[in-house]
Structure 1
Amino acid sequence: MPAHDTPNPLHHERTHLSASRAALRAMREDVEALDIKDVTANWVNAAVLQRQMDDRIKALADLSHTPLFFGRLDYLHAPGVELAEGAEGERFYIGRRHVHDADGDPMVIDWRAPVSQPFYRASKKDPLDVALRRRFGYTGGELTAYEDEHLMDPAEAAQTSKLLQAEIERPRVGPMRDIVATIQPEQDEIVRSGLSGSVCVQGGPGTGKTAVGLHRVAYLLYAHRERLARTGTLVIGPNRSFLHYIEQVLPALGELEVKQATVDDLVAKDVEVRGTDPATAAVIKGDARMAEVLRRAVWSHVTTPSEPLVVVRGSRRWRVPAYELTEIVEQLTDRDIRYGAAREALPQRIAHTVLVRMEQAGEAPDDRVQDAVARNTAVKAAVKAIWPPVDPAKLVLRLLNDPEFLAAHAEGVLTADEQRAILTPKPARSVKSAKWTAADAVLIDETNDLVARTHSLGHVVLDEAQDLSPMQYRAVGRRCTTGSATVLGDLAQGTTPWATASWAEALRHLGKEEAVVEELTAGFRVPREVIAYASKLLPSISPGLTAVESVRETPGSLTVRESADLDADVVAACVASLAHEGSIGLIAADARIPVLAKALEAAGLPCLAPGEETTSESRLTLVPASLAKGLEYDYVVLDEPAAVVGGEPDERTGLRRLYVALTRAVSGLTVLHASPLPPQLARPGAAG
């Protein structure tokens, strides 16, 4: 549509919003009115088409409190048209999904479309042929304000958008929401990076790395929908609470097909995880060297034939000497294929050798004869003896139960002490009775892949990646060997004993060494005062890492206070925080959670557990420090930092856990302590 001014802009924009909502409603009604009986030949096709239609109807939902469009671009010239003197420009409204009128003309352009990109990238220095960028402000779903930038007007100075700032700082209640209206240029560059390449995003608290990863998935599905529909996409998070927190972002953008899982969900399919490892054992089991131990153990089952094979067909006997069988086995082992695939090929290779003998004797066997020979009882027996089947869970169980078996395959890989550390104290009798740990499930998954190739997806997003072990990286990497990955994390927030030391190392284990590493250092959520306080820990937990520079100036956002009656003061701080709009998180060391839960109950303050935010009217969540990663609350009350640090096996991990807890607030943070603060926070300059 041509760009031109109107005498009453706000009225004009509200009129366009109403017309766009009506057009979206008509699009939805058109889909609902379709009769699948006219276009399907059988019930299978009907079921598939009905599911597609149901998804389309959901994607066309008009959410009353979600703006249908949030911006407008007035181009100086029509995009994609060769510039000509006097050529009229075009106007586009930018929103979460495409909307067109009855004639098919666009009323709202999807934010992912190429024509929408200048909304995020255009600037005074590089206006990208945009004469006007207009942002819209909403209250309760109603359009109430607008703000203009005349990018080609030299008389108008560049300034920070107040509507943009207000949207970034809008209080948070419930699950994570999309940031489609507030994507920054450096974030947009990552979001729109191509499907063929993998990207690793290092981002401190509040830099939007999780949102960037999710929006990149939405963009890739828009740009490569057919390909990703075939190959699939997956978002991997650290725990179920985190996945509950982010699960509404992609559906809000109209993407309903992306699956979400934890690493444990991916690997714990063959066994039930009921046990836990000591930290020492977990670190060793998660070490990449275990892949070599497992490889040796799997292939140790292949034996060198010592007896010739005799195949009887009718009145003839066909003999394959042991040395020829050995040559076949060596050829298969040299091919670098999966154990199971090689085992399936072995009977056909033997049968082919027999067919050569038949042809030399003047017979003319065909493929049916070869298949019959491959199924011959003698051939089956030989294959079972030479190349027996391997049960991955049984193999791992034997490795962890049998010191001699482990020593035979870990020689030169694991030390004697390391071998003793991973042996099960009380050997289990069977796979079902074993108390498998999360690390054991990853070992079984690795073994499964040695036997049969793991299915690869088109794209995988891995969030909070800094906490994965090398073996867990390998498990994720197996699921995108032919696809790409978006890796998200913050080295300073690594809180597992096996946390990643560098992204180069992590990407090597993931099998994505070619991935581009991007660093986000501009903070948009956590107030400057809060992030500066938390950053005092960086020299101790991640030396050399760039501290986040927050763009948010929120005076009085940080309070650090010593308490003589900690439980009572924590409850009082929660009451004070609830006087503000938005969500409240009370974060404490895991061991303190039962005590604080009783104190809140006694005070008549209902609270939620992480992940329950959408199931209750309560705005207060009681968060164990171990589950705080990736979550955000408008106001945070942090209980006893020393207890958070002391709840971890070593000081560095404890300080990293504290860094996570300190950076969950997006409006205000209150830190209460009875014990002395860690010395890093008690240094001059700390808030008092």
Structure 2
Amino acid sequence: MAEQETYQDTHQEEQQRLERSLSDIDKQLSEIGPRYTGNDFTEQMLDLQREERKRRLEIARKEPYFGRIDFQELPEGSSDSEANGDLAKPLYIGKAGVAKGGGNELLVIDWRAPAASLFYSFTGGDASAAYDSPDGEVNGYVHLKRNLMVRGGELIRMVDSYVRGQEEGAVSDEFLLYRLGENKDNKLRDIVSTIQEEQDRIIRAERNKALFIQGVAGSGKTTVALHRLAFLLYQYEGRIRAERMIIFAPNRMFLDYISGVLPELGVGDISQTTFSDWSIQLLEHEVTLADPSETMAHWFEQPRSAEELEHASGRYKGCLSFKAEVDKRIEEFMAGIVPETAFQPLDGYVLTAAAMRKWYDTDYGEELIMQKRDRLASRIRRWLESELKARNVTDKKKRAAAMQKLNAFVKKIPSYTAVQLYLSLFKGKTALASMPRAIAKTTAERLGGGSAAAEDLAALAYIQLRLHGLKTAPYDHIVIDEAQDYSPFQLEALKLCQRTASMTVLGDLQQGIHAYVGIQSWKELTRLFDAEQTEMFELNRSYRSTMEIIEFANHILGGMTGEVKPAVPVFRSGEPVVSEAADEEGWLPAIADTIRSWQAAGVYDTMSVIGRTARECEIIHKHLVRQGIEASLVQSKQPTYGGGLTVVPVYLSKGLEFDAVLIADAGEEAYGELDAKLLYVGCTRALHMLKLFYRGQRTPLLGSWEV
């Protein structure tokens, strides 16, 4: 009873503190005033500062803070001191820093600030704690760590995860488990209130490195990468800019799914795209992208052998040996740019090959290939104009003859677009002898028709960057999501877009379902950088699914070998995984009945039926609609994910998550021995409930698992 009264008193104190904070924020907002619309530059700059302050206050108004940590700072030079709670200062952590009354005293500390790192790094114990500040390391004692949930101006939940002097128990994860137990909507959300220690280390890692993150399904790696962008903008304010950051996601639907995270963190202007869309734009739409669904259908709509995967054209065109062939062709082009013969437009006029070579090598040494080529052509034109002027040549016929020879000479200086140079690898006498004939023929025909397959874009982008460079400023930071599906050649192209490597590269080898283009080991990508430029992180803890679902999914991959450890679930128990046999006649009705029962229970906000193929999903979707069940069908070109009930092919479900998942058919014909990663992806989309139907014999991937 006494504990309950103490909790209520503390809750009331926190609510009163919250109300004072909101009142202060409202007062500051009311004092900002209207926008300045005049032409005075100083006033315009002041107005931008006021708008930035207004933006931070509006973020804070929705949820002023989510955590509190009471920290007693030790005096400078002190090696130890008796912990004294009376000397501890309460620090409230929120998405945006707010000064009390607009002054110097902080009402809320920004989650990215050095002192706020204590909230994430401190996990308990009576020993002293420390954080790195701009002035050096700050040491002290933590007396209280409190999680707070604020909604609509009310304190909804309060959990003390650490109180100095009290026995520590399971309460440390209570708030996290509560948040993980919430239902999902159709957007990925920020995790600032539940960032874990291992995630925080990645977010706050050094900027000028290529960070590689191997994260199991549900480890929060995508969200961590987005929070890292927000942190870098805060930590390096004035040195890096949001408009010089870029995020590469696997498809447009996934971009829509993650689109809410950065605005929630108060970050805008960061480009978010796919590698295909970015490449086509870089190439100035000289080619269109061949239908990506054709490639996926080719590999996912029917079983494939290990040999077919190993010798797929996408793996050939993504490897470093193919890049070496591209580099060789670029060098050949460069070697032929400077004419080997003198230019003689008129008798007695001679521009030697040696002079042109000197211009090219010395005067334009550091410039891009096509810039050097165009500047050489311009220099030759200026040389002729200068000679004609110096010799006072006014005869029109003589001048016309000289200009005619000039145009003919300049025209012979080689000039390629990226597509033309790339096509030379596959067509005619210049085609590579080592190129498999079928790949060369198909590629040449496609490029000749004005389109390119996704597997060609790495080489095309690389050639474009070598020839013309990036039209914008170099990127300050690059995020690559689902990087296990990237080839080494793609990363080599992106490296050309930065002066210094600053990347966050994340993925999961266990979800590497695009084996026809992707990597089989992170070493394929990390070796592209110097050792001191890279850092590898592993996130093995899965926060998405229940223990039952994670253990079941790990069993599917149990027979696989590799460098990845199995997922470790958070101690969150739920419903057991269920599998049921379904005959052909009763299969579709059973799917509809399951969905109806889930909807009637009113427990799940988002549900998904995951099919093996696009054709299977179309059949399921039509049946559900005929049964009066509202559902959306996900297709390869779909730009958005709307939530609710979704029918989706398993190979398009990666990155998404749902409260409840029904695997439509886990029979042996649907998932063979080579499809373990594919089935693993489907099962790990589920947060709270997972059920599988199977037609015929159950897939051997489940082995002896009893479900």
Name the TM-score, length of structure 2 as normaliser: 0.81
Q: Which amino acid aligns with 2:648?
A: V
Distance 1:163 1:7, change over 3 A: closer
Distance 1:289 1:385, change over 3 A: farther
Correspondence 1:473 to 2:491: yes
Partner residue of 1:288 out of 320, 325, 341: 320
Correspondence 1:568 to 2:593: no
Identify the residue that residue 91 of structure 2 maps to in structure 1.
92
Distance 1:173 1:79 in 2: 47
> Could you say what secondary structure the match of 1:561 adopts?
strand
Q: 1:9-28: per-residue Cα shift (whole Å, max 9, x none)?
A: 22221222223233333444
Correspondence 1:265 to 2:250: no
Q: 1:388 Cα shift?
A: 2.6
Q: 1:464 Cα shift?
A: 0.6
Q: 1:527-575: per-residue Cα shift (whole Å, max 9, x none)?
A: 1111111112324455342101101332424112212322111112222
Distance 1:628 1:155, change over 3 A: closer
Identify the residue that residue 113 of structure 1 maps to in structure 2.
113
Identify the residue that residue 588 of structure 1 maps to in structure 2.
611
Q: 1:57-113: per-residue Cα shift (whole Å, max 9, x none)?
A: 55543588x532111111123798979888833111111111223242322111111
Distance 1:569 1:436, change over 3 A: same
Q: 1:402-431: per-residue Cα shift (whole Å, max 9, x none)?
A: 23221xxx34xxx25x24423237847x86
Q: 1:630-671: per-residue Cα shift (whole Å, max 9, x none)?
A: 11111111111248955xxx852x321111001011111111
CA contact (8 A) 1:24 1:100 kept: no
Q: Which has the larger displacement, 579-588 or 154-163? A: 154-163
Correspondence 1:606 to 2:624: no
Q: Which has the larger displacement, 669-678 or 506-515? A: 506-515
> Could you say what secondary structure the match of 1:187 adopts?
helix
Write the mapping of 1:503-542 to structure 2, written as runs, cut at 5 A. Answer: 503-509=522-528, 514-542=533-561
Identify the residue that residue 394 of structure 1 maps to in structure 2.
420
Distance 1:145 1:127, change over 3 A: farther
Distance 1:513 1:124, change over 3 A: closer
Write the mapping of 1:10-159 to structure 2, written as runs, cut at 5 A. Answer: 10-37=11-38, 39-40=40-41, 57-62=54-59, 67-77=63-73, 88-104=87-103, 105-125=105-125, 126=127, 128=129, 129-138=141-150, 142-153=154-165, 155-157=167-169, 159=171
Partner residue of 1:493 out of 494, 505, 511: 511
Write the mapping of 1:268-667 to structure 2, written as runs, cut at 5 A. Answer: 268-269=280-281, 270=285, 271-275=287-291, 280-301=312-333, 302=336, 305-310=339-344, 319-325=350-356, 338-346=368-376, 381=407, 384=410, 387-400=413-426, 402-406=427-431, 410-411=432-433, 415-416=434-435, 418-424=436-442, 427=445, 433-454=449-470, 455-496=473-514, 497-509=516-528, 514-564=533-583, 565-578=586-599, 579=601, 580-589=603-612, 590-609=614-633, 619-642=644-667, 645=670, 651-652=673-674, 654-667=675-688
Q: Which has the larger displacement, 134-143 or 176-185? A: 134-143
Q: 1:602 Cα shift?
A: 1.7
Distance 2:263 2:625 in 1: 35
> Could you say what secondary structure the match of 2:246 adopts?
strand
CA contact (8 A) 2:60 2:98 kept: no
Q: Which has the larger displacement, 245-254 or 222-231? A: 222-231
Distance 1:510 1:606 in 2: 49
Uncovered stretches (5+) of structure 2, i.e. residues with no partner: 1-5, 130-140, 300-311, 391-401
Q: Which has the larger displacement, 561-570 or 458-467? A: 561-570
Give the alignment's Cα RMSD to 1 decimal: 3.7
Q: Which has the larger displacement, 336-345 or 15-24? A: 336-345
Q: 1:102-145: per-residue Cα shift (whole Å, max 9, x none)?
A: 24232211111111111111133345221111112456663133
Distance 1:597 1:22 in 2: 51
Correspondence 1:195 to 2:207: yes
Distance 1:203 1:113 in 2: 25
Distance 1:38 1:350, change over 3 A: closer
Q: Which has the larger displacement, 621-630 or 298-307? A: 298-307
Partner residue of 1:252 out of 264, 267, 278: 264
Q: 1:30 Cα shift?
A: 4.3
CA contact (8 A) 1:570 1:639 kept: yes
Q: 1:170 Cα shift?
A: 1.5
Distance 1:155 1:393, change over 3 A: closer
Q: 1:274 Cα shift?
A: 3.0
Q: 1:33 Cα shift?
A: 2.3
CA contact (8 A) 1:538 1:545 kept: no
Distance 1:40 1:257, change over 3 A: same
CA contact (8 A) 2:673 2:701 kept: no
Q: Which has the larger displacement, 496-505 or 160-169? A: 160-169
Distance 2:669 2:33 in 1: 53
Distance 1:7 1:241 in 2: 45
Distance 2:530 2:634 in 1: 33
Q: Which amino acid aligns with 2:58?
A: A
Q: Which has the larger displacement, 98-107 or 258-267? A: 98-107
CA contact (8 A) 2:423 2:444 kept: no
Distance 2:440 2:48 in 1: 48
Distance 1:79 1:28 in 2: 37
Distance 1:396 1:112, change over 3 A: same
CA contact (8 A) 2:211 2:505 kept: yes
Distance 1:458 1:303, change over 3 A: closer
Q: 1:162 Cα shift?
A: 1.7
CA contact (8 A) 1:403 1:423 kept: no
Uncovered stretches (5+) of structure 1, i.e. residues with no partner: 364-375
Distance 1:572 1:89, change over 3 A: same
Distance 2:247 2:386 in 1: 51
Distance 1:488 1:71, change over 3 A: same
